[in-house]
């Protein structure tokens, strides 16, 4: 397959970016890995792009005894360079998350720094902590008077960012939501899914709704099937304690995969406004045909070879029970019962320790109804395929048939593709930078509303209940595998094949 590198003339460019207002960011779990690896670099990126207000500051919160100076050293290490004007905006407050005295000290620190930075109650609380602490912190913030009910206009700009997972089933999600919404209004809650901050995922809406060529053929009349793949070559990376209680269904499928599916399949929103877009996503999720436990292939990796190195099995990972039945791989076929997508299968799969890192959405169009080139041996022509590449390099490709120079009939598949970083000659922004800036400006478009999560859990609860009773088969696959027989059978029984994971 020949690849074509496009040359793009950048015409009629419309860019809209809203810088953040003066804001305080309070990060619970600030001494943890996520803060150092993702949040601090994301904030520094915004700072370098001059999208943060000069009147911006961070209070890191944690149980570790850290002074402001020590926390600023952590900041410098996280960004890999000296940046005094940036790092001096970071402060630290030590305490236990269930101790009322800690929140009194935090309140005093906020009042002091708000005066210093001239910030008028514009505060974001970020929960970068284990999920069990979400309700604890929310209730303590409420008791300390730091949250803002909707009718309290003095604190209307207080917001709460919550990392996934939001619950582990429908009941726990509902209980968590009940506690949090006693302290925060839904309009103040930002449930983060970092996949929605990736450029290619955001571009799904632009691609579909800003180009007249796509929408007329974005339906069951022209599309044969859709494949959504999140393949990871890494294992659980020292998260055994968390992952063994979660598994691929909760960790990836319930949030990332269903949200990407919703963006691909939802109806056009009436406007580019947060609730209009989120309304359509919920409508789509409610149109999914109810899942049956037998619809899913679940599996767990054994030892194998990746990039020439031997790697251990899941059961040998630190923090994993030696008899664990937790899945590290999920594959299923999803059907959407609505006018646009009836009978179009969406094949989704995600797994750890696969042969390559590759996340993409591949839309395969129906084949031409009749080949006029049968006399040349071309009885059946390949499908056109549009691929939205999300990792490792974000970009878009389109495969189509064309004549090659030379013989009277020499036809081949051409792949017209581009990578964002190469085409626009820029470093791709971090997903967390996009999401943090949106939270600072009050834009909830890329954040999950509770009814979306509730709908997802309702779909998955029967599956989880069945698995809990050990009614399903847990298959095995070797680390480094491209796929395995049971997963292949899922799609091959419909006369189709998985796309190669290493094909990106």
| Residues marked as catalytic | 256
Nearest-angstrom CA–CA distance, 375 and 392: 41
What is the distance between the alpha carbons of residues 163 and 140, in angstroms, rounded to a whole number? 18
Contact 183, 140 (CB under 8 A): no
- Cα separation of 267 and 337, whole Å? 13
Please return the burial class of 118, using the count of CB atoms within 10 Å of its CB with bins 0-12, 13-18 and 19+: exposed
SS3 for 339?
Answer: coil
Question: Encoding tokens for residue 19?
Answer: 């810088």
Q: Measured over all CA atoms, what is the biggest interatomic distance in the chain, rounded to whole angstroms?
A: 84
Q: With contact defined as beta carbons under 8 Å apart, do 336 and 262 qualify? A: no
Q: Do 319 and 244 meet the contact criterion of CB atoms below 8 Å apart?
A: yes
> Which residue from 208, 141, 209 is spatially nearest to 179, judged by alpha carbons?
141
Structure tokens at 65: 């005894």
SS3 letters across 138-152 = HHHHHHCCCCCCCCC
Euclidean distance between CA atoms 456 and 465, whole angstroms: 15
User: Which candidate, 389, 354, 392, places its Cα nearest to that of 231?
Assistant: 354
- Residue 12 CA to residue 61 CA, distance in Å, equals 45
Please give the helix or strand (H or E) that residue 90 lies within, else none.
Answer: strand 90-94
- Gap between the Cα atoms of 304 and 312, Å rounded: 7
């Amino acid at each position: 397959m020949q690849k074509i590198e496009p040359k793009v003339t950048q015409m009629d460019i419309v860019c809209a970016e809203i810088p953040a207002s003066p804001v305080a960011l309070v990060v619970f779990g600030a001494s943890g890995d996520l803060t150092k690896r993702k949040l601090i670099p994301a904030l520094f990126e915004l700072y370098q792009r001059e999208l943060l207000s000069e009147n911006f500051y961070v209070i890191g919160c944690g149980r570790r005894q850290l002074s402001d100076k020590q926390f600023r050293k952590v900041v410098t290490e996280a960004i890999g360079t000296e940046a005094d004007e940036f790092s001096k905006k970071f402060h630290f407050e030590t305490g236990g998350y269930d101790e009322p005295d800690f929140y009194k000290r935090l309140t005093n620190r906020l009042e002091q720094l708000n005066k210093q930075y001239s910030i008028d109650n514009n505060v974001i609380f970020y929960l970068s902590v284990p999920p069990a602490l979400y309700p604890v912190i929310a209730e303590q913030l409420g008791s300390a008077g730091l949250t803002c009910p909707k009718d309290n206009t003095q604190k209307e700009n207080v917001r709460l960012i919550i990392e996934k997972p939001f619950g582990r089933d429908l009941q726990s999600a509902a209980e968590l939501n009940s506690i949090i919404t006693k302290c925060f209004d839904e309009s103040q809650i930002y449930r983060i899914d970092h996949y929605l901050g990736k450029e290619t995922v955001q571009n799904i809406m632009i691609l579909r709704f800003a180009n007249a060529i796509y929408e007329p053929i974005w339906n069951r009349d022209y599309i044969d099937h859709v494949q959504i793949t999140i393949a990871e070559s890494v294992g659980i990376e020292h998260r055994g304690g968390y992952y063994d209680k979660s598994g691929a269904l909760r960790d990836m499928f319930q949030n990332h995969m269903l949200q990407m599916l919703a963006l691909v399949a939802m109806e056009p929103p009436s406007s580019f406004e947060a609730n209009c877009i989120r309304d359509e996503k919920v409508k789509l999720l409610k149109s999914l045909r109810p899942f049956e436990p037998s619809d899913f292939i679940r599996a767990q990796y054994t030892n194998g070879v990746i990039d020439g190195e031997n790697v251990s099995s899941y059961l040998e990972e630190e923090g994993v029970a030696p008899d664990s039945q937790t899945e590290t791989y999920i594959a299923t076929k999803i059907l959407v019962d609505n006018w646009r997508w009836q009978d179009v299968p969406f094949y989704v799969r995600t797994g750890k320790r696969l042969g390559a890192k590759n996340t993409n959405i591949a839309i395969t169009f129906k084949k031409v109804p009749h080949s006029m080139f049968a006399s040349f041996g071309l009885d059946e022509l390949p499908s056109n395929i549009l691929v939205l590449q999300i990792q490792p390099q974000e970009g878009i490709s389109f495969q189509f048939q064309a004549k090659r120079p030379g013989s009277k009939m020499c036809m081949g598949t051409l792949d017209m593709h581009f990578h964002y970083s190469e085409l626009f000659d820029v470093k791709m922004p971090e997903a967390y930078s996009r999401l943090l800036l949106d939270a600072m400006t009050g834009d909830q478009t890329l954040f999950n509303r509770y009814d979306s999560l509730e709908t997802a859990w309702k779909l998955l609860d029967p599956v989880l209940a069945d698995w809990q009773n050990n009614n399903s088969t847990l298959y095995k696959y070797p680390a480094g595998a491209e796929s395995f027989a049971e997963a292949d059978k899922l799609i091959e029984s419909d006369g189709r094949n998985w796309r190669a994971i290493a094909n990106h």
